[in-house]
Chains A and B, each alone.
Chain A
């Protein structure tokens, strides 16, 4: 899976949680909590969906260090 495909998959899961996010203007480097209003429950749900869809179980400690989609994709790219 290349980065574009990964990005598409992750953004699909993200909009499953936050359907109001406009993907056309989505900024991969924007802070998910501040810019897209994701709370801790949303963030955990995203990790859960990524685990289910891509089979990558991101440990809690690693996940806590990610704040934007770009960081999540960097992490996933090495593991998918």
Chain B
């Protein structure tokens, strides 16, 4: 039996708001399962549990601000059901009996709960642990984005649950231009300010850059994309990410976290990608084990990550698990971008605008597609010599795109 604590939310974020429980006491959970949604200044993120077990108690109610490290729930083998909370905070409603196969009481009462009573849960309600309106996660997210109370909707899903189609035709109460779920520009700016101030205060950055010939990559990509429909096409970004991930796997001094005990190299490459949010702001979720993915797999994950970064649904593990990050401002027309390292990481790789320019090729000059790659790295961990080898490794990998 153990308490599940509010996990770290990323650099310089000390608390988050628990906005939704996705489990109830008595639910069996397995490692990696999403059990709650937490909102920070940067995003609403899905929080995963780290162990297998049974949810014995929820200590915190929805829409509560919670500091990092605060017990959120008790996970055990089920024998602790009904015991008093061992952690801080009040129990989340009355303790239900352990579920038995012959007593599907909650399930039977569920259809009667639609449309549900608004707010103020009666203390004696059997479903008080699940007092929230039954709804699919997608519907819940959309309702929250559009500011529509679920209690005002009639569910058409299983057991009367509200599903996405029930939200169609409803009037959002917030302006249409609202950029993304749980994202307040002023708070976002404050979160970026805190993380970047810490970075520049603590990390002695060194910077390197090099121009890379993309002729081979461009040709290979054009051939690959020629007969593919848009949904299967690759972007140059996928090639950059893969080459970077492979190089990070080789140069472990650039891949890991710098903590209180100094640098610890990571055993896997979780490559973060800075995603610009329309309306201002930035998040840097990571693609796990990026070095082991094929290009189509990596591209699929890139699309998915960008979509979720802008529309909601990032996982906390993606937001805090990055071991190095790539920033690509290139599309917006700068030749070179020098990054600011995202603590506790130790390297930020910058990708500029791919553009045609004269390059020396063998004995002549050719006009080639080329890009400036840069590296900002932590001088406490490695020196420029290693950084140069690393950038050259990426360059070499991009000369053989078929091998990526």
Residue numbers of A with Cβ under 8 A of B are 18-20, 33-34, 37, 39-41, 44-45, 47-48, 50-52, 57-61, 63
**A18 and B278 contact, Cβ closer than 8 Å, known pairs A44-B230, A57-B229, A59-B226:** yes
For the complex with contacts A20-B278, A52-B231, 10 further pairs of A-B residues with Cβ separation under 8 Å are A19-B176, A40-B236, A40-B237, A40-B331, A45-B303, A48-B231, A57-B230, A58-B230, A60-B222, A63-B230
Q: Are B235 and A40 in contact (CB under 8 A)?
A: yes
**A20 and B237 contact, Cβ closer than 8 Å, known pairs A40-B331, A48-B231:** no
User: Could you say which of B176, B222, B230, B302 contacts A47, with CB atoms under 8 Å apart?
Assistant: B230
Q: How many angstroms between the C-alpha atoms of A4 and B349 in the bound complex?
A: 44
| Interface presence of B233 (CB below 8 A) | yes
User: Could you say which of B177, B179, B222, B231 contacts A61, with CB atoms under 8 Å apart?
Assistant: B222
Enumerate chain B residues within 8 angstroms of A52, measured Cβ to Cβ: 231
**Chain B residue at smallest Cβ distance from A57:** B229
User: Could you say which of B233, B235, B278, B306 contacts A19, with CB atoms under 8 Å apart?
Assistant: B278
Q: How many angstroms between the C-alpha atoms of A8 and B237 in the bound complex?
A: 30
Enumerate chain A residues within 8 angstroms of B357, measured Cβ to Cβ: none
Q: How many angstroms between the C-alpha atoms of A36 and B333 in the bound complex?
A: 14
**Chain A residue at smallest Cβ distance from B224:** A60
Q: Are A60 and B226 in contact (CB under 8 A)?
A: yes
- How near does chain B come to A73, taking the closest CB pair, in angstroms? 17
4 smallest beta-carbon distances between A and B, as pairs: A47-B230, A39-B331, A60-B225, A48-B230
Enumerate chain A residues within 8 angstroms of B303, measured Cβ to Cβ: 41, 45
10 sample A-B contacts, Cβ–Cβ < 8 Å, listed by A number: A19-B177, A33-B331, A39-B276, A40-B235, A41-B302, A41-B306, A45-B303, A60-B222, A60-B233, A63-B230
| Interface presence of B279 (CB below 8 A) | yes
- How near does chain B come to A24, taking the closest CB pair, in angstroms? 12
Enumerate chain B residues within 8 angstroms of A37, measured Cβ to Cβ: 278, 332
Q: How many angstroms between the C-alpha atoms of A49 and B306 in the bound complex?
A: 16
Interface residue ranges of B202-244 to A (CB < 8 Å):
222, 225-226, 228-231, 233, 235-237
**Chain A residue at smallest Cβ distance from B177:** A20
Q: How many angstroms between the C-alpha atoms of A79 and B142 in the bound complex?
A: 35
Enumerate chain B residues within 8 angstroms of A34, measured Cβ to Cβ: 333
Contact string, B249-280, partner A, CB cutoff 8 A, digits 1/0? Answer: 00000000000000000000000000010110
- How near does chain A come to B257, taking the closest CB pair, in angstroms? 28
- How near does chain A come to B23, taking the closest CB pair, in angstroms? 31
Enumerate chain A residues within 8 angstroms of B225, measured Cβ to Cβ: 60
Q: How many angstroms between the C-alpha atoms of A39 and B333 in the bound complex?
A: 10
**Chain A residue at smallest Cβ distance from B276:** A39
- How near does chain A come to B335, taking the closest CB pair, in angstroms? 16
Enumerate chain B residues within 8 angstroms of A19, measured Cβ to Cβ: 176-177, 179, 278
Q: How many angstroms between the C-alpha atoms of A34 and B276 in the bound complex?
A: 15
- How near does chain A come to B347, taking the closest CB pair, in angstroms? 23
Q: How many angstroms between the C-alpha atoms of A50 and B230 in the bound complex?
A: 9
**Chain B residue at smallest Cβ distance from A58:** B230
Pick from A37, A41, A45 the residue with the most CB of B within 10 Å. A41
Enumerate chain B residues within 8 angstroms of A44, measured Cβ to Cβ: 230, 233, 235
- How near does chain B come to A43, taking the closest CB pair, in angstroms? 9
Contact string, B328-360, partner A, CB cutoff 8 A, digits 1/0? Answer: 000111000000000000000000000000000
Interface residue ranges of B285-328 to A (CB < 8 Å):
302-303, 306
Q: How many angstroms between the C-alpha atoms of A33 and B333 in the bound complex?
A: 10
**Chain B residue at smallest Cβ distance from A46:** B230
Q: How many angstroms between the C-alpha atoms of A37 and B179 in the bound complex?
A: 14
Q: How many angstroms between the C-alpha atoms of A12 and B276 in the bound complex?
A: 22
**A51 and B278 contact, Cβ closer than 8 Å, known pairs A40-B331, A41-B306:** no
- How near does chain B come to A16, taking the closest CB pair, in angstroms? 10
Q: How many angstroms between the C-alpha atoms of A33 and B302 in the bound complex?
A: 19
Q: How many angstroms between the C-alpha atoms of A60 and B222 in the bound complex?
A: 8
Enumerate chain A residues within 8 angstroms of B228, measured Cβ to Cβ: 60
Pick from B222, B225, B235, B278 the residue with the most CB of A within 10 Å. B278
Q: How many angstroms between the C-alpha atoms of A34 and B236 in the bound complex?
A: 19
**A61 and B235 contact, Cβ closer than 8 Å, known pairs A40-B331, A41-B302, A41-B306:** no
**A39 and B222 contact, Cβ closer than 8 Å, known pairs A18-B278, A44-B235, A51-B231:** no
Enumerate chain B residues within 8 angstroms of A50, measured Cβ to Cβ: 230
Q: How many angstroms between the C-alpha atoms of A39 and B235 in the bound complex?
A: 11
Enumerate chain B residues within 8 angstroms of A20, measured Cβ to Cβ: 177, 179, 278-279
